[in-house]
Amino acid sequence: MQLSDMKIIITGAGGGMGAHFATRIVEAGGQVAACDLNEEGLKALADKCAKGPGNVHIQRCDVGDEAAIGAFVDWAYGAMGGLNGLVNNAGLLRDGLLVKQDRNTGEVVKMSKADWQLVIDVNLTGATFMVRDVVAKMVSEGQKPGVIVNMSSIARHGNRGQSNYVSAKAALAANTVTWSREFSRFGIRVGAIAPGMIETPMTRGMNQKARDALVANVPVGRVGEPEDIWRAVQFVIECDYFNGRTIDVDGGLNM
């Protein structure tokens, strides 16, 4: 598939990697339906892309809300005059140990259900329903070929303090295989990208000590940039022989 032919949904496009992906596709002449809860970020994206050869269409959407997902997919199809792709990028963090004990008081603290559920609702359930509704729309409209790009993480292999995030990202990587098999009959490919430490608003909010320790373990010696991940996303979109696999883009980092 060519970038100029894309009519693609990008979730979490109000900043960070999602905004970068959207900009690149618009620069190539494609159309993007961008969603986020960050309406100011979406407006900034629209302004940035206003003079591009392609078009970006913006709409607020909470991917943790099943009804909102369905409504957004229908809107995106109408706004772009079609739909042939999805970059499943929206996500959030609520890091914390599943069980921890205060060294001074001995108090035992457990991860709250709220912190567990919010990450699962957005990073896994919302991402899954977005795939479901996008594929259902493409199938009902007879659109083929199509491509889905899921954003997993190298944390899917396991990472201290991220039980909720790891669970979601591991499931997305596994379901990339599942969905590639289920959707092949419809002419829809599914791939996943697993970023390592990437410079985004989310990672800039990390504890500095933890961030420095993580960067020190990256063999290439730096934090990744959204452009590094974009190159992998572009490959999945454009390579019609790529399907059902996850690409790690992490500078060689092992968690």
Residues with a known catalytic role: 165
Q: Which amino acid type is present at position 15?
A: G
> Is the Cβ–Cβ distance between 38 and 15 less than 8 Å?
yes
As given in the structure block, the two tokens for residue 17 are 């990697």
* Exposed e or buried b per residue across 22-43, where buried means at least 16 C-beta atoms within 10 angstroms of its C-beta: bbbbbebebbbbbbbbbeebbe
The alpha carbon of 165 is separated from its chain's Cα centroid by a whole number of angstroms, namely 13
Rounded CA-CA distance 150/38 in Å is 20
As given in the structure block, the two tokens for residue 206 are 């990390």
At residue 63, the 3 state secondary structure works out as coil
At residue 192, the 3 state secondary structure works out as strand
> Is the Cβ–Cβ distance between 11 and 35 less than 8 Å?
yes
Give all strands (DSSP E) within 89-182, no chain letters. 99-101, 108-110, 146-151
